[in-house]
Amino acid sequence: MRPHKKYLELCLKLAEKGKGYTSPNPLVGAILVKRGSIVGKGWHRKCGEEHAEIMAIKNAGIKARNATLYVNLEPCSHWGRTPPCTEQIIQAGVREVIIGCPDPNPRVSGHIELKSRGLKTKIGILNDECKKINEAYLRYVRTKKPFVIAKAAMSLDGKIATKTGHSKYITGKEARKHVHQLRNDLDAVMVGASTVQKDDPQLTTRLIKGKNPIKIIVDSSLRTSLNAKVVKNEPTQLIIATTAKAPANKIKQFQQKGVKVLTIPALQGKVDIKKLMKELGRLEIQSIMIEGGAELNAAVIKAGIVNKMLFFISPGLIGSGLSALGDLGITKVDKSVKLKKMNHTTVGKDILIEGYL
């Protein structure tokens, strides 16, 4: 079992190279091993390009025959943007396939297909680790809704800004670079109209070398300025979610700039967050990081659409100021929202707490 785990850990490292570029496809790495030596390796680089298994087979050439293929996610067995991997694995003469975790996509039955065609197969090795790297993909396949991360940067006493509204910068540069890396890795970032008005953020990956995410603004009455940085810099990468309260002429102005405006049904006068998630899922947005203020953070938690939370906590104290979360409607401590599978690490001088809801 130990060699299997070692090789699958290598697959996971290869898979990580595709972060930010494979969506709505998963992150996949593959290696071919023959007589104890790696003879081929590959990873899925970009949606629409060859899958990891095929790259590994081509890399191995004739050495793929009678080799063992390791892959962190069950190979596809259907025609999609590319041909089925199972057929090419069989044609290459691979002897055995070791799979990290199953793919819940009902169109994928690679494990069964390979087994029925006479190949030795094992599945479920490093299952938890292989699921974690593709947690966004696995949720999206099951629900057709994005995997949602809510992120906040705060002082030690839970403030995201001073009482005057000043917030730049609570956390250090290392933490901000970490966030920019997450922006690269995920499909989209989401903020509220208030954050755009107060901070005029760029929501880019300027602190690292990476791709900029799709930007989503939740703006019930469409008060976002046409001169906001997110509008001026990359309008075709911007989605504004609004309601029927939005002025028709302003919707048209945004659309003329290339902005996608979604008119979502209202819930208590605000954009219905749950319905917005369904619409974003239809647009094949697989993962979103919410970088909003207290109001949006509270709204998404109350709506029950948050899967994971990231709290960057600086060692500073602010005192009176704006809290990271608005009203959750909680009146008793024992009814508080509690994180599961929580862990923490240091990022520069700051602490990152991560957990699931």
Active site residues: 53
Report the chain's terminal Cα–Cα distance, integer Å. Answer: 33
Peptide bond into 169 cis (omega under 30): yes
Between the CA atoms of 159, 164, 169 and 175, what dihedral angle is there, to the nearest 10 degrees? 20
By DSSP bridging, strand 96-101 and strand 68-73 are: parallel
**Per the structure block, which two tokens stand in for 211?**
């791709």
Q: Which spans in the chain are helix H?
A: 2-16, 52-60, 85-91, 110-116, 127-133, 135-143, 173-185, 193-199, 229-233, 248-256, 273-282, 294-303
> Cα 93 to the chain's mean position, in Å?
35
Peptide bond into 24 cis (omega under 30): yes
**Under 8 Å between Cβ of 232 and 214:** no
**Under 8 Å between Cβ of 251 and 231:** no
**Under 8 Å between Cβ of 294 and 300:** no
Q: Say whether 313 sits in a helix, a strand or coil.
A: strand
How far apart CA 289 and CA 263 sit, in angstroms, is 21
